[in-house]
Amino acid sequence: MAEEKNLEGIGGWLILVGLGIILSPLIVIAQTLPVYLKMFSDGSWVILTTPGTEAYNPLWAPILFGEMAINGGLVLAWIFIAFLFFSERKAFPKWYISILIFTLIFILIDGLAIKSVLPNEPVFNPDTTKKFARTLIVTLIWVPYMLVSKRVKATFVK
């Protein structure tokens, strides 16, 4: 019982998890907002989504809207996960694991969707490959930790 008491609270490896949770919505915003702002300001959106233009494909608009909606949802989800984490809610580990797995699947599906409109391009460009690899490594480290850690079990109980 005294050992469990020492493991309660955000400490140890959970400090790194907390840092990642704080940075995650900021990273999503930093990686996506400039792309979307540029797309609308430089005319790319019109070129990609207007029938008759050279780069038009009817899939561009739904893919791009889907990306924007999902990335916006990811920002909100990370904020919610931060709330669960810092208030030490029992639901935190499940939400955290779910968002990591969802993000991996989203990166893969998004790459395949882009491939459907740009068939001569690789499924993953270097940035996407880096993002997928980073997310995969984070998932492979932190999912098992969330599932077996005594500190996680002792901390997230509310």
Burial degree of 56 (CB within 10 A; 0-12, 13-18, 19+): middle
DSSP letter at 51 equals T
Which H helix or E strand runs over 25? helix 14-41
Residue 99 CA to its chain's centroid (Å): 7
* Residue 93 near residue 146, CB atoms below 8 Å: yes
Domain boundaries, the chain: 2-153
Query: For residue range 127-154, what is the model confidence (pLDDT) as tens digits?
Result: 889 999 999 999 999 999 999 999 999 9
Q: What are the pLDDT digits (tens) for 81-117? A: 999 999 999 999 999 999 999 999 999 999 999 999 9
Distance (Å, whole) CA 150 – CA 158: 16
Half-sphere exposure of 37 (CA within 13 A, CB side): 6
Question: d(Cα 107, Cα 114) in Å, to the nearest integer?
Answer: 11
Q: What is the pLDDT of residue 64?
A: 96
What is the pTM (predicted TM-score) of this model? Answer: 0.90
pLDDT at 5: 60
